[in-house]
Structure 1
Amino acid sequence: MEKTQKEKNELWEWTKALLIAFAIAAFIRYFLFTPIVVDGESMMPTLENGDRMIVNKIGYKIGSPDRFDIVVFHAPEQKDYIKRVIGLPGDYVEYKDDQLYINGEPIDEPYLEPYKAEITEGNLTGDFTLRDINPSLDVIPEGSIFVMGDNRRFSKDSRHIGLVDQKEIIGNTSIIFWPLNEIEIVK
């Protein structure tokens, strides 16, 4: 009789420990960090198709995106996209001769240099202005951002889907954790 009670007690303790572990894991997964798999080539060469990354879901709860952050957001096609923040609220975005201009000032994009070096013909990024995308916009309105993929020739981004509402942002990401031989922090 005493042994059976001890076994029941031990089983209950293990059950409680497992339930607590699952609750902590669920809390971390749904409120703090979540994994995501890069789907497609729109962020090449920075991110490769199939890279597995960790999304920080709490960063934008207490702050807002910075220019050049890599963000994950809910896209209009009921799919999550990974893109780079180019324009912030109050910015006028323009691209001319493969050069980014924000509010008329040239802005360097060092993460694109390796990709630009591989191009033998034409520009990586075609010319456009914010007004070309939406004629009614002088600047990016409060609560929205302008995003682009690093693989500018083959990226469905704000040039196609429009501005991204900051409420649609899941979080930012910069840590590739899989494949193991490519673990790194990207910028």
Structure 2
Amino acid sequence: MKQGSQKKKQRPTTKTKPISNDNHKERKKRKSSNKKNASINAKTHKIQKQQSAKRNRLTKKQRIALKKMQRKKLVLELIITIISTLSLISVIAYFIFAIPKVEGYSMTPTINDKDRLFVSKWGQVKRFSLIYFKEPKKNEVMIRRVIALPGEDFFYEKGKLYINGEEIVERFMSQETQSNEEKNSNITPDFSLQDILQVKRIPKGKYVVLGDNRRYSTDSRYFGLIDEKDIIGVVTIRLFPIHEMTHF
């Protein structure tokens, strides 16, 4: 050990400078400036919030206007679609089918006055087909039954149909024929092709038509033969009345 008394080490002391008046004023200014900035920021935020709310309100109005425009567009498209569909149906109907209304009683009891029928314009004309055609003299449209075809000879005798000398049974008339036979009266008066046209054979492209209500029908016995160019179509279905819907 060292002799003598040890000298105590003294800690270095830091001297604090007294706060000057200038520094105090500067701090005060900073605090005041910060308060002003905070107030300005708050006001700015409030203004931005109000502007944002205003923009949102405008957006709602725009959405309502957009929805109205979309509805108008949808309605317009729907109208155009309906018109286009009806136009297409009209074109198809003109070339493919017709739905005429029966007028008169010449085809009773097969079809009646006011019935609605479906007519196929592409149907094949056969014997006993119901055809929709233009009557050659008055240019009226009507429905009658085809009895004799081009190139044939025909006549009625005692209410029975003969084609080229052979009897042809009119099955669609069977019930009414039987009823008239019981009354000893012929449903179809006797007549022949020569009686109405003074020819032996039906010319090419011509047809003989009769109404099913033979005693009261206006048909080839009065207006002559039907030209194939005047045939509009073949009746295939009775549409109305619905409870009497029938396929011919």
RMSD across aligned positions (CA): 1.6
The 8 Å contact of residues 131 and 138 in structure 1, kept in 2 or not, is answered as yes
Counterpart in the other structure of 1:95? 156
Unaligned runs of 5+ in 2: 1-61
Counterpart-to-counterpart distance in 2, 1:106 and 1:44 = 24
Which amino acid in 1 is paired with 2:197? Answer: N
Counterpart in the other structure of 1:151? 213
- For 1:30-69, what aligned pairs fall within 5 Å after superposition? 30-59=94-123, 64-69=124-129
Counterpart in the other structure of 2:241? 179
Q: 1:161 aligns with which of 223, 237, 248?
A: 223
CA drift of 1:8 comes to 4.4
2:83 maps to 1:19: yes
CA drift of 1:181 comes to 1.3
Measured against aligned partners, the alpha-carbon deviations of 1:25-67 in whole angstroms (never above 9, x if no partner) come to: 21232221111111111111111122111111122xxxx4110
The 8 Å contact of residues 94 and 130 in structure 1, kept in 2 or not, is answered as yes
**SS in structure 1 opposite 2:174?**
helix
**SS in structure 2 opposite 1:84?**
strand
Counterpart-to-counterpart distance in 2, 1:174 and 1:116 = 24
Which amino acid in 2 is paired with 1:95? Answer: Y
Q: 2:132 aligns with which of 64, 69, 72?
A: 72
Which amino acid in 2 is paired with 1:174? Answer: T
**SS in structure 2 opposite 1:145?**
strand
**SS in structure 2 opposite 1:152?**
coil
Counterpart-to-counterpart distance in 2, 1:55 and 1:138 = 32
Counterpart-to-counterpart distance in 2, 1:20 and 1:92 = 49
Runs of 4+ in 1 over 3 A off after TM superposition: none
The 8 Å contact of residues 87 and 147 in structure 1, kept in 2 or not, is answered as yes
Counterpart-to-counterpart distance in 2, 1:48 and 1:14 = 39
Counterpart in the other structure of 2:8? none
Larger Rg: 2
Number of residues paired by the alignment?
Answer: 181
Which amino acid in 2 is paired with 1:74? Answer: K
Higher strand proportion (structure 1 or 2) = 1
Identity score, percent: 36
Which amino acid in 2 is paired with 1:45? Answer: P
CA drift of 1:14 comes to 1.6
Q: Which has the higher contact order (CA 8 A, sep 6+)?
A: 1
2:188 maps to 1:125: yes
The 8 Å contact of residues 116 and 124 in structure 1, kept in 2 or not, is answered as yes
Higher helix proportion (structure 1 or 2) = 2
CA drift of 1:160 comes to 1.0
**SS in structure 2 opposite 1:153?**
coil
Which amino acid in 2 is paired with 1:40? Answer: G
Unaligned runs of 5+ in 1: none
**SS in structure 1 opposite 2:134?**
strand
